Amino acid sequence: MHGFPSSSHMFRNLIPRLNGDFHVVAADLPGDFLRGRRRGSGGARGVAADPRLRPPVALRLHHSNPTRVAAFVVQNANAYKAGLTPAFQPIIDYGNDQSDVNERSVLNFETAKFQFLHGMPDVTLVSPDAIISCQYTLDTPGNDTIQLSYFADYNSSIALYDTWHADIRRNQPAVLVLFRKNDPFFF
- How is the chain split into domains, by residue range? 8-178
Per residue in 116-153, pLDDT tens?
888 888 999 988 888 888 888 888 888 888 888 888 99
The greatest distance separating any two alpha carbons of the chain, rounded to the nearest whole angstrom, comes to: 46
Cβ-based neighbours of 122, under 8 Å, separated by 6 or more: none
Query: pLDDT-based confidence at 33, cuts 50/70/90?
Result: very low
| DSSP single-letter state for residue 121 | S
* Closest among 58, 38, 30 to 152, alpha carbons compared: 30
- Tell me the per-residue pLDDT of 44-67, one tens digit each, with 9 for 90 and over: 566 776 555 567 878 888 899 888
Class of domain 8-178 as given by CATH: alpha beta
Does 80 score more than 90 pLDDT? no
